[in-house]
Amino acid sequence: MPADIPDTSSTSNTPDSPEHCEHHAPIKHCKNCGAAVVYRIPDDGDAKQRAICPSCQTVHYDNPLIVVGTLPVWGEQVLLCKRNIEPRRGRWTLPAGFMELSETVMQGAARETVEESGAQFEMGNFFSMVNVAKVGQVHLFYLAQLQSDRFEPGLETLEARLFAEDEIPWDEMAFRTVAQTLKCFFADRRAGQFVTHIIDID
Ligand SMILES: [Zn+2]
């Protein structure tokens, strides 16, 4: 596996926290009985403070979220979506979103691609796993082969369009996870071989 591509896009106007950090706001109330929780280390050998319900004793664990998406390809071009929702409304991203319960990573990536772009495509190989430990997220991208250059973006997307490498709006990308994944894709294409990438973002 090649070394990760250095992040040359991390200028001051490139956002560094990916998505929906509000999902990791502290837990305030018990999901079981609604009582106000307290934060303390549980009595079971755990090393971290957890939100514990003083009424029913339920221990709430706040674990990382998984974001799933695709990098859709049409000839020399890739598909990007302009976000119509916060955070980063008006900026460009690959079609991606939070994985739902009862779906596989690939199913979630395909679902998000349909929802955000209305594209027709075939799923390809798994491409990148991006750890964003600071905000408790893992982003997973598959390659996808577009079968048409007609898109019907949903309400979350202002515009879905194809970009050649030299047209990519690097300064208007919504997330570094997406920019890093795209950089790996174009580097692999120049090298003539697509491999799987594991990327850590600070
Ligand atoms: Zn409770």
Q: Where are the domains of the chain?
A: 26-62, 65-200
The dihedral built from the CA positions of residue 120, 124, 128 and 131, taken in this order, carries a sign that is positive
Distance, CA 160 to ligand 1 centroid (Å)? Answer: 45
pLDDT for the residue 8: 36
Q: Do domains 26-62 and 65-200 have the same CATH topology?
A: no
As given in the structure block, the two tokens for residue 65 are: 């979220």
pLDDT for the residue 26: 87
pLDDT beneath 70, residues of the chain: 1-23
Cα angle for residues 78, 81, 85 (degrees, 5° grid): 160
Distance, CA 45 to ligand 1 centroid (Å)? Answer: 21
Distance, CA 26 to ligand 1 centroid (Å)? Answer: 16
Distance, CA 66 to ligand 1 centroid (Å)? Answer: 26
Residues 6+ apart with CB under 8 A from 45: none
> What's the whole-model pTM score?
0.85
At 61-117, the pLDDT tens digits run 999 999 999 999 999 999 999 999 999 999 999 999 999 999 999 999 999 999 999
Spell out the CATH class of 65-200.
Answer: alpha beta
Q: Are 115 and 83 in contact (CB under 8 A)?
A: no
Distance, CA 20 to ligand 1 centroid (Å)? Answer: 26
As given in the structure block, the two tokens for residue 157 are: 């997307």
The dihedral built from the CA positions of residue 82, 134, 183 and 109, taken in this order, carries a sign that is negative
pLDDT for the residue 23: 60
Residues 6+ apart with CB under 8 A from 132: 17, 18, 138, 139, 177, 201
Distance, CA 67 to ligand 1 centroid (Å)? Answer: 29
pLDDT for the residue 25: 79
Question: Would you say domain 26-62 falls under CATH 1.25.40.420?
Answer: no
